[in-house]
């Protein structure tokens, strides 16, 4: 007799495991990969193109799709969008932008409005959900603007675009960055400032790009902020703190809990992986995907 006899409960548990495995195998045979099974209950994940600049875009898209990613974002041309679509992916956030010279200066509005409208048109043509814009720096060429005046200028400039975004059903995102370490003097460096801007613009097609890495550096309290500001957030970015590298156990943020908090808000958008890999980039892409699944 075995020292640990098998019980009826053990048999039922084992049969459940086998049944689950057989169901998964059947789905795989029917044309579904294991990643499709995982994604049915997980958050949609995207890669930020600039973090993998040394990998040709077509190869990056192929590897990303193989892992289970659904998007490569921050692309800068229709040709790049076509390339990722050929791999079965989309571009969750379209556009490349000037971080320093943003909407907080009225003298930039004409150029930025024209650029943003063109990007909205590209997004609408390819069925992409969002485009990106930036607030800009507080001080340029020795001239400093207050956060209050910059907020008013951003609202004025972006209101010139929102009618076009609404008609094309494309969301305009503004990204918050840390001004402590990576983007010194950048104006939108606190979530509350971004929320105030959303309220001034008053359009459901203007949202915040909440970058977890940047906001952990500036204000911390990530999960509470996500819960409090959920109606104003239209996209998320990741990154390990400190260093903006892999989002694993080597850093201070616990991404499984953060992703769960995001999902608990009812969020249906994408999570953009925006870390700079220190190790093999494909292996790090796959690790991050699993951590956030």
- Kindly list the catalytic residues: 175, 274
Gyration radius of the chain over CA positions: 21
Say how many CA atoms lie within 13 Å of 169 toward its Cβ: 5
Query: Helix crossing, 78-86 with 109-126: angle to 10°?
Result: 30
What are the structure tokens assigned to 23, written together? Answer: 């169901």
CA separation for the pair 197, 16 (Å, rounded): 51
Separation of alpha carbons 245 and 51, rounded Å: 10
CA 110 vs CA 119, 133, 156, 158, 205: distances in Å: 14, 14, 11, 11, 20
Place of tokens 């190790």: 279
202 phi, psi to nearest 5 deg: 70, 35
Of 172, 79, 163, 53, the closest CA to residue 119 belongs to 172
Interatomic CA distance for residues 89 and 279, integer angstroms: 24
- Residues 6 or more apart whose Cβ sits within 8 Å of residue 260: none
DSSP-derived letter for residue 62 is H
């Amino acid at each position: 007799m075995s020292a640990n006899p098998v019980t009826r409960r053990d048999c039922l548990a084992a049969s459940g495991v086998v049944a689950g495995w057989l169901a998964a195998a059947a789905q795989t045979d029917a044309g579904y990969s294991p990643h499709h099974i995982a994604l049915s209950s997980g958050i949609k994940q995207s890669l930020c193109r600039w973090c993998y600049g040394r990998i040709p875009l077509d190869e990056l898209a192929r590897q990303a799709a193989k892992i289970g990613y659904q998007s490569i974002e921050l692309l800068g041309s229709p040709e790049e969008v076509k390339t990722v679509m050929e791999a079965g992916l989309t571009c969750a956030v379209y556009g490349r932008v000037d971080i320093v010279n943003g909407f907080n200066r009225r003298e930039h509005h004409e150029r930025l409005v024209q650029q943003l409208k063109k990007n909205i048109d590209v997004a609408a043509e390819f069925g992409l959900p969002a485009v990106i814009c930036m607030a800009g720096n507080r001080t340029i060429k020795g001239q400093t603007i207050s956060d209050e005046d910059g907020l008013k200028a951003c609202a004025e400039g972006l209101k010139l675009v929102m009618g076009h975004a609404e008609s094309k059903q494309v969301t305009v995102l503004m990204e918050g960055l840390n001004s402590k370490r990576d983007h010194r003097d950048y104006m939108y460096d606190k979530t509350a400032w971004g929320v105030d801007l959303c309220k001034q613009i008053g359009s459901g097609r203007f949202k915040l790009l909440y970058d977890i890495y940047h906001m952990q550096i500036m204000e911390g309290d990530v999960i509470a902020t996500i819960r409090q500001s959920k109606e104003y957030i239209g996209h998320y970015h990741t990154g390990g703190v400190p260093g903006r590298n892999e989002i694993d156990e080597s850093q201070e943020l616990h991404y499984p809990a953060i992703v769960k908090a995001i999902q608990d808000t009812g969020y249906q958008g994408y999570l953009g992986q925006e870390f700079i890999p220190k190790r093999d980039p494909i292996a790090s892409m796959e690790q991050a995907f699993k951590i956030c699944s």
